[in-house]
Structure 1
Amino acid sequence: MTRASLGGQLLRRRTIGMLVAEAGQSSEGSATLGRHLSMIQLAMISVGATLGTGILALLAEQIPHAGPGIWMSVLLAAVPALLSALSYAEMAGAVPVSGSSYSYAYVTLGEGVAWVVGWCLVLEYGVSVAAVASGAGQYVDETLAIFGLSLPAAIASDPSAEGGVFNLSAFLLVILAMVLLLRGVREAAWINTVLVALKVGVLLFFSAVAFTAFRVDHFDGMFDAFFPGVTGAAAVLFFSYIGFDAASTAGEEARDPARDLPRAILLGMGLVTAIYVVVAIAAVGAREAPWFRDHGLVTVLAEVTGQPWFGVVFSIGALIAFASIVLTVLYGQTRILLTMSRDGLVPRVFGRISPTTRTPVAGTLITGAVIAVAAGIVPLGELANATSIGTFAAFTVVNVAVIVLRYRRPDLPRTYRVPLFPVVPVLGAVTCLALMTQLSGGTWIAFGCWMAVGIAIYLAYGRRHSRIGALDERAYRAAIAGEASGFRAAPRAGRLPG
């Protein structure tokens, strides 16, 4: 058998029929994923992966730049995210598998682009989990400090901080999330739903307390600093919306993926945006914008109430927020690797599913252990910032995939269609590319190094083990011809295997 040339293999596509059929087939010594997740649980995965880090870490520091118009920054930041969310919703309904943007790229743009997107997602999800867990460690220190306690410096932070050796809190948080995922997606989804409800409650609690000190005059001149204050803050706050795509990694564990995934993605985006706007208005209403140069959201509660225990509640809420993000993003990471393994681009161990828990146990153990150690000892630096480029690249590809699939498969059953096509996906792609240009040179260098490693891995392993690359030309053309004949790619959940 003659393997396709490198150029030809990079352009080969998986058909939607292949992906859906293989998702319901058990491999040797493996099983299939179980379909347990309801629409609400899927939406909570989206919210769980998004809500928390940005609003807790970025909002207060951007208020002095945007002034009382910070709530407009929050809305402006939501626009590019919403454009891409609409495209994700259409693709999730049409391609109901666990690969998210990786799978969407594979069926529209070919193996080369799919590998790049998949490798970007490995960076985005893996480093995000480590970075968020590391940030949670700081909140552990702050919470203990309220009670006059502290962790020894050696286990309080990674070696980048003075006296730091190992960030024990970050390590344990990732291990805890890994253990929950190993028990099964049903249990993990319910725990995540509870965590999301708690962190939404904490943010609404903050807003309710802050509104008791609300003053309308704090919003005087809110349009004065629109350029560059409000718009500049919007560019930074966009990162608060990264994570909504996590629900699309659950395509094979949703009860009715074609119907529920689009709804979950859009519901998650709407809920996150509404909460962000309320918190922003409440914060500026309680304290004038310049005050936030030296204070954070926790201090708002302490000053308004005069009770330090309110700060304790908020700090605990922050820890819950971080825990939910770690759980949902680690979940997404394991499902991306599972799908890439099924396609032959990464080792098969990541695709082995336990018949008992219906989860990729070995892949979860390997991924969780590596990320836990990274969270404990690695100063992430520019590599963490490079996740932004990976995210924008994935978003851009999904917007392009919607356009390609509309023209290539106009007859494909779709449970959701992007409105104002092709304007919305074109704007989504353009805004993501524009935001990529705003990132620093150091971030681009780190991203370039990551992609160089990815290319080497593809050439050394992925190209030789790719399932679509192993097909001879006649078999490949037959598969593509079968797709063109009208395979219905989005059957109802009751007719899907597993």
Structure 2
Amino acid sequence: MSVLRTKPIRDVLAQGSDEGGEPRSRLRRRLGALDLMGFGIGIVIGTGIFTLTGIEAKNHAGPGVVVSFAIGGVVALLAALCYAELAASVPTAGSAYTYAYATMGEIVAWIIGWDLLLEFALGSAVVARGWSGYLADLFGLPSAWFAEEGSVVNLGAIAIVLILGVVATVGIRESARITNLLVLVKVAICVFIVVAGLFLVKATNLSPFIPAAEPAGGGEDGVRQPVTQAIFGLEPSVFGFAGVLTAAAVVFFAYTGFEAVANLGEETRKPRRDLPLGLLGTLLISTVLYIGVSLVVVGMVRYTDIDEGAPIASAFKAAGAGWAAVLVSIAAIAGLTSVILVELVAMGRIGFAIARDGLIPPSIARVHPRWGTPYRISAIVTVGVALLAGFLPLAALADLVSIGALGAFLLVSVAVPTLRRRRPELERPFTVPFSPVLPIVSALACFYLMLNLSVETWLRFLAWMLLGAAIYFGYGHRRNRLARREAGGAGVVPGRRPVEQLGRG
């Protein structure tokens, strides 16, 4: 049995259609373009804008962190174009996992699905701990139960994950309504931060815009240095244009998650029109807000004096507008809440797609008859994320979210020209311009940013991939739907012809 067998496009489309597939494993179409954009902005604008701006400005890029956010936004936009073409052509649950299964083979699909589960699980857990910290600061709650440091168990993180997990499990419309409300709050406050902050910017704080490169401290050598420096034997350094690129690789974390929109293709009323709108609208709005917020932060306070823990609030305080810190905390709590909710929704859909294909036990792909959601896998991922958020200090693992997302984006970029070559007749309501040039540029840009992450991050990523390989070869390789068909025709979707009668399509 080949690890490179592909899932026929006709099977993929039939599973996600209103007529095809099994009723117990078919989701309900309830979302429109604004809902998709709400989910996208809800997950993208979160911890990155409230924490990474200060960390990367102070440690790697200085005011050049504005350029870092711009670079990250361009790379994310290239990947979003690729996602938009595939999502409009193959509007089903699973996003990158499903696209890879139809174009590059089963083992690649498993790798990307396992990779996405890592991205969303760690991302939501990291954000949940950040949410708990902001809540403690705003209401003076005991740090022993809510803070990142000094707590054995983070009750705040566990509570918010469990509450939002119930929302994600009960219904997609309920999740959309809550997300849209939270997005309105945080976008309005982000716009206020930019407009009010522009009046407090001092030109002297922006000079030099890209500080001269200097040798890194002891924390940037060995496995903590970027892979590019380790490969070429360069002396570990910070700032300069190399620092801007390193910061771009890290702040890319702030753009991760927009692909969650593509996971909702099977629940979108008009997916071929609305999925590209949701994906590209999310990235354009988020990039503009990120660049604006990072500019006013490094403009209000000298980058060397930025408070890494609360860069926006501390910048307003330094500029004599401490009253704005309360608004920032409210925006942070609203922003992080929507991130956790959308991450949990996305994880459920990815796990649902993988289980429906039989790569993990298919019984957990059951859709609730009344709620219309994959309730079993949603409950499982909720409990898993709650345990991660409550008991593990995950700050050091945040870069794994970036490398996981970049790996997924790279493979999606490769999938666009691959699918065009294999299925030129497939209806494509949206197409990436200048293909295959832009998809190739997108793949190379993602890989280059991956190389700017630390050796330590790569080693952790490799360990996760090895665990996934053990699960795949121990279970999924022989027990999935395609394997059962090869073994004797079992697993054919009821009411449809066997795959051999469908040809290669």
Do Structure 1 and Structure 2 share a fold, with TM-score over 0.5? yes
* 2:14 equivalent in structure 1: 21
Question: Secondary structure of 1:11's partner?
Answer: coil
Q: After alignment, is 57-66 or 119-128 more displaced?
A: 57-66
Sort the Cα spacing of 1:56 and 1:336 in 2 relative to 1 into closer, same or farther, 3 A. Answer: same
- AA matched with 2:129: S
Asked whether the 8 Å contact 2:307–2:314 carries over to 1, the reply is no
Superposed displacement of residue 263, structure 1: 1.4
Report the equivalent of 2:95.
100
Structure 2 match to 1:491: none
Structure 2: distance between partners of 1:70 and 1:384? 18
Give, in whole Å, the separation in 1 of the partners of 2:67 and 2:22.
54
SS in 1 for 2:266: coil
Matched letter for residue 111 of structure 1? E
Q: Deviations over 1:423-482 (max 9, x none)?
A: 111111111112222222322222222122211211222123210111238979973773
Cα shift at 1:151: 1.4
The question of whether the paired residues in 1 share the 8 Å contact of 2:14 and 2:21 is answered with: no
Q: What's 2:484 paired with?
A: 470
Instruction: Report how far residue 67 of structure 1 moved.
Output: 3.4
- SS for the counterpart of 1:269 is helix
CA distance in 2, matches of 1:442, 1:229: 18
What is the CA distance between 1:196 and its match in structure 2? 1.0
List runs of 5+ in structure 1 lacking aligned partners: 486-498
Partner-residue secondary structure (3-state), 2:29:
coil
1:44-72 deviation digits (Å, cap 9, x = unpaired): 11111111211111112223443333322
The aligned counterpart of 2:252 is 238
Q: 1:109 aligns with which of 101, 104, 107?
A: 104
Q: CA deviation at 1:182?
A: 2.2
**Residue 479 (1) aligns with residue 499 (2):** yes
Quote the residue 1:342 is aligned against.
Answer: 356
Query: Structure 1 counterpart of 2:10, which letter?
Result: G
Q: Quote the offset at 1:223 in angstroms.
A: 5.6
CA shift, 1:318, in A, is: 0.6
In the alignment, residue 137 of structure 2 is paired with which amino acid? E
In the alignment, the residues of structure 1 paired with residue 126 and residue 275 of structure 2 have an alpha-carbon distance, to the nearest angstrom, of: 27
Could you tell me which of 5, 11, 19 is aligned with 2:4? 11
Match of 1:46 in 2: 40
Partner of 2:452: 438
Report the Cα distance in structure 2 between the residues aligned to 1:98 and 1:28, rounded to whole angstroms: 14
Any conservation in 2 of the 1:346–1:461 contact (CA below 8 Å)? yes
Give, in whole Å, the separation in 1 of the partners of 2:128 and 2:333: 9
Other-structure match for 2:366:
352
- Normalization by structure 2: what TM-score? 0.87
**Greater displacement, 456-465 / 222-231:** 222-231
Q: Mark the CA change 1:40 to 1:181 in structure 2 (over 3 Å): closer, same or farther.
A: same
Which shows bigger deviation, 164-173 or 64-73?
Answer: 64-73
Aligned alpha-carbon RMSD (Å): 2.4
1:156 maps to 2:138: no
1:293 Cα offset (Å): 6.0
Structure 1 counterpart of 2:172: 185
Instruction: Calculate the TM-score normalised by the size of structure 1.
Output: 0.88
Structure 1 stretch displaced more, 190-199 or 18-27:
18-27
Q: How many residues align?
A: 469
Q: By how many angstroms is 1:78 displaced?
A: 1.3
Equivalent of 1:60 in 54, 57, 67: 54
Q: Indicate how the Cα distance of structure 1 residues 346 and 422 shifts in structure 2: closer, same or farther if over 3 A, else same.
A: same
Alignment partner, residue 228 of structure 1: 242
1:488 paired residue number? none
Q: What is the letter of the counterpart of residue 264 of structure 2?
A: A
Query: Displacement of 1:297 after TM fit?
Result: 1.1
Identity between Structure 1 and Structure 2 (%): 36
* Deviation of 1:389 (Å): 2.5
Q: Distance in 1 between matches of 2:440 and 2:20?
A: 38
Gapped regions of structure 2 (runs ≥ 5): 213-239
Deviations for 1:196-240, whole angstroms, at most 9, x for unmatched residues?
Answer: 111111211222221222334544443665523433332322221
Task: Please give the alpha-carbon distance, in whole angstroms, between the structure 2 residues aligned to 1:46 and 1:151.
Answer: 33
Alignment partner for residue 457 of structure 1, among 471, 484, 487? 471
1:137 positional shift: 1.6
**1:494 aligns to what?**
none
Letter in 2 for 1:40: L
The separation in 1 between residues aligned to 2:363 and 2:398, in whole angstroms, is 26
Aligned partners of 1:248 and 1:261 also within 8 Å: yes
Q: Which residue does the alignment assign to 2:291?
A: 277
**In structure 2, do the counterparts of structure 1 residues 25 and 202 end up closer, same or farther at CA, with 3 Å as the change threshold?**
same
Q: Give 1:384 shift.
A: 4.2
Superposition deviation, residue 141 in structure 1? 2.2
Superposed, 1:81-96 pairs within 5 Å as 81-96=76-91
Shift of 1:373: 1.7
Given residue 173 of structure 1, which amino acid in structure 2 is its aligned partner?
Answer: I
Contact 2:64 2:210 survives alignment (8 Å): yes
Contact 2:15 2:26 in 1 (8 A): no
